[in-house]
Amino acid sequence: MQEVLRFRPLGAEAVAREDFVEEARQFRRAPDVPSRGLSLTIRGLRKSFGDNEVLRGIDLHIPAGQSVAIVGRSGCGKSTLLRLIAGLEKPTAGSISFGEQARAEDIRVMFQEPRLLPWARVLSNVEVGLGRERSSADAQARAEKALVEVGLGDKRGQWPSVLSGGQKQRVALARALVSQPRVLAFDEPLGALDALTRISMQRLLEQVWRDQGFTAILVTHDVSEAVALADRVLVIENGRIAHDFNVDIARPRERGSAELAALEGAILKNLLEGTEDSSDDL
């Protein structure tokens, strides 16, 4: 039996171990999820913007279909890591490789802002997500199916400007899902939503992840969101992975349960401790 909470500080030595990949594989949870996802291996990843080194050597293996949350204080490099994984930035050094050859449509990103085209109706916005398959005969049917999946089947003919913030984010989710991606990266996708909409969106995200079995990478500053959604929580400090928690709590998870709260408390404690003696233990 795994412990409910595992705390594992990763020093540079531990990362370099040969059995790193194997050990990370054990972190995979939720065997009930049929995985179509791609596994992801990151080695020695560094990223600098000018003189500012944002990522200082990330080694990470994410097994196929796992849902990983990346938390950290603002400016710690978590969004940069996500943008590198999504191919929006080029690494300064190191490599990111997927388990199999990935098509462009296999990797999708959802941002904090919905980024919908205001001049296209909801359905055409979802069709954008099909990428190169946009012109295929069943494009419209697929877009409609994705809209139904996020609960907005009746909004297909609306302009984005009449939708609420949560609805816009659902359309953005449908657009990300329509190509049936195998890796879905979320950059604070619920950051701009109110508390109630957030909770229902979290449920929706968990549900589509369980249904579709993609590998999910969620960047968030909200630790409670991270423990509610993810199999595994990574804490990033000063451009390195400082902690790697396994969230071994059965789904569906009950919001506000003692288990979640205990884990959330432990992660927060580590986050706060890490800020005090940040550079010494890394």
Partner 1 sequence: MSLIDSLTRVRAPKLPRADGLIPWIVPLAIILIWQLACVTGFVPARVLPAPTDVALAGWKLLLSGELIRNIWVSFWRASIGFLIGGGIGFAFGLANGLSQLSAKLTDTTLQMVRNIPHLALIPLVILWFGIDESAKLFLVALGVFFPIYLNTLHGIRTVDPQLIEMGRIYGMTDGELFRRVIFPGALPSIFVGLRFALGIMWLTLIVAETIAASSGLGYMAMQAREFMLIDVVVLSILIYALLGKLADSASRALERLTLSWHPAFQKH
Interaction site with partner 1 (CB under 8 A): 86, 88, 104-105, 108-109, 111, 113, 115, 117-121, 124, 128-129, 131-132, 157, 159-162, 175
Q: Which is nearer to partner 1, 7 or 49 (CB)?
A: 49
Q: Considering the complex, what minimum distance in angstroms separates the CB of residue 116 from partner 1?
A: 8
Q: Considering the complex, what minimum distance in angstroms separates the CB of residue 77 from partner 1?
A: 19
Distance CA 98, CA 164 (A): 36
Q: Considering the complex, what minimum distance in angstroms separates the CB of residue 125 from partner 1?
A: 9
Q: Which is nearer to partner 1, 131 or 165 (CB)?
A: 131
Give the tokens for residue 121.
Answer: 């109706």
Q: Considering the complex, what minimum distance in angstroms separates the CB of residue 62 from partner 1?
A: 20
Q: Which is nearer to partner 1, 61 or 175 (CB)?
A: 175
Distance CA 1, CA 185 (A): 30
Q: Which is nearer to partner 1, 104 or 148 (CB)?
A: 104
Q: Considering the complex, what minimum distance in angstroms separates the CB of residue 140 from partner 1?
A: 11
Q: Which is nearer to partner 1, 121 or 210 (CB)?
A: 121
Q: Which is nearer to partner 1, 21 or 96 (CB)?
A: 96
Q: Which is nearer to partner 1, 136 or 207 (CB)?
A: 136
Amino acid at 259: E
Q: Considering the complex, what minimum distance in angstroms separates the CB of residue 81 from partner 1?
A: 17
Q: Considering the complex, what minimum distance in angstroms separates the CB of residue 162 from partner 1?
A: 7
